[in-house]
Structure 1
């Protein structure tokens, strides 16, 4: 296994934070890992050359990993498609007068696999976000057969969104590799402590009964994001099957 697709139950669930922190912890295990972004919207144009900047999420990944931008970032291999309009990829591409070719993303991933043991591919928005008029994100992932890591939280409605996401993943014959409960929203107005605690208990029991091989991870939230420790169980590392 060398490619894991990281998505979330909704937009703004903390996929980027989870992806960067997961990469950081894999690095600590001496695993050669890189992150990739499927497509990034809401990217600013560089006023010096009129070109699209490096994807914002890739920059955040590197900051969380504690490393500089990599050559594959600078030549845009880690995110070939970047659009200015902060919208669904299919709309952002349309407004830019551009057609997104999924093969370009696939070729970029394969290039990264040559030099890295693990590629963490972060999606844009939720699982069923359209990346073209004819292709949903999860259907693209299904063509590649990538195992999925699903990021969730304790916000009201998370149980429903999580179970729907799990069904969408399995209906396409994909493996739910892990569920990451992200504590990044613990202090948000829409997060109630009793609901969040109940959500954790329910989801853990649901996974144990219905997805016994799926890893359950909890990503803590600290005042200093860069000091957060994200402990990965030995079983998670072994599941990557890279050694």
Structure 2
């Protein structure tokens, strides 16, 4: 099976992007398909020795791959990690650090080139238009990689508009959209399935609903 890279983008921040990415990783592995999952850029990440690290996005993705929380595995999954729970450009500035888009894209391209079989999942950070460097957004990162995307949305009030705006943005920039995954938001006024149905009428791509504590649908995994 030829290697394939897919970018997991978000319609917003804190909407379940890592939950969906981990669920998709587990489903692909359960189907016997080789998969490697990365979150190259992450903020709000405690040091590895901090007990809170186990709740970080990086730790959740390593757990989905059945990888131990060792320094090498963490570095291989998320080489750019920042402590503050802010956009990466702001979090980096607080640490006196900076990130160049060319370095981020170059690293990701090297991982894509080194994937000989199966699927490489690359989870983005924040929402599609969140800044990742002082001059670039998540969309710039995705466009530079030239890979298809899965868009993750929440089911909170306003999620339909946010998801469709992101879908339209991807379309205008000629980014292939494989699917939209609606992750159930806690306390949302409407069922996630209702939100997914509304998005599906306009998205121009397959839409799937992922409720909390439920596995990734096989039909979504089949598109990857």
Q: Structure 1 59/197 Cα, relative in aligned 2: closer, same or farther at 3 Å?
A: closer
What's the CA shift string for 1:70-98, capped at 9, x where partnerless? 88953612211111111111111112111
Structure 1: runs of 5+ lacking an equivalent: 223-227
Q: Is the 1:35–1:58 Cα contact (8 Å) retained in structure 2?
A: no
Give, in angstroms, the shift of residue 112 of structure 1.
3.3
Q: 2:211 aligns with which of 216, 220, 235?
A: 220
Give, in angstroms, the shift of residue 200 of structure 1.
2.6
Give, in angstroms, the shift of residue 153 of structure 1.
2.5
1:62 alignment partner in structure 2: 62
Q: Is the 1:151–1:181 Cα contact (8 Å) retained in structure 2?
A: yes
Give, in angstroms, the shift of residue 192 of structure 1.
1.0
1:31 alignment partner in structure 2: 33
Pair 1:132-2:148 in alignment:
no
CA distance in 1: counterparts of 2:102 and 2:96, whole angstroms: 18
Q: State the secondary structure of the residue aligned to 1:124.
A: coil
Q: How does 1:43-82 map to 2 (within 5 A)?
A: 43-46=45-48, 56-65=56-65, 67-69=66-68, 73-74=72-73, 76-82=75-81
Give, in angstroms, the shift of residue 130 of structure 1.
0.8
Q: State the secondary structure of the residue aligned to 1:164.
A: helix
1:225 alignment partner in structure 2: none
2:92 alignment partner in structure 1: 93
Q: Structure 1 34/46 Cα, relative in aligned 2: closer, same or farther at 3 Å?
A: closer
Structure 2: runs of 5+ lacking an equivalent: none
CA distance in 1: counterparts of 2:128 and 2:156, whole angstroms: 18
Structure 1 stretches of at least 4 aligned residues deviating more than 4 Å after TM superposition: 70-73
Give, in angstroms, the shift of residue 164 of structure 1.
0.9
Q: Structure 1 16/219 Cα, relative in aligned 2: closer, same or farther at 3 Å?
A: same
* Superposed CA RMSD: 2.6
Higher RCO, 1 or 2 (CA under 8 Å, sep at least 6)?
A: 2
Q: How does 1:11-30 map to 2 (within 5 A)?
A: 11-30=13-32
TM-score by length of 2: 0.85
Q: Is the 1:149–1:178 Cα contact (8 Å) retained in structure 2?
A: yes
How many residues are aligned here? Answer: 218
Give, in angstroms, the shift of residue 181 of structure 1.
1.3
1:200 alignment partner in structure 2: 196
CA distance in 2: counterparts of 1:150 and 1:91, whole angstroms: 24
CA distance in 2: counterparts of 1:136 and 1:103, whole angstroms: 12
Give, in angstroms, the shift of residue 63 of structure 1.
2.3
CA distance in 1: counterparts of 2:195 and 2:49, whole angstroms: 45
Pair 1:230-2:216 in alignment:
yes
2:143 alignment partner in structure 1: 142
Which structure has the larger Rg over C-alpha atoms? Answer: 1
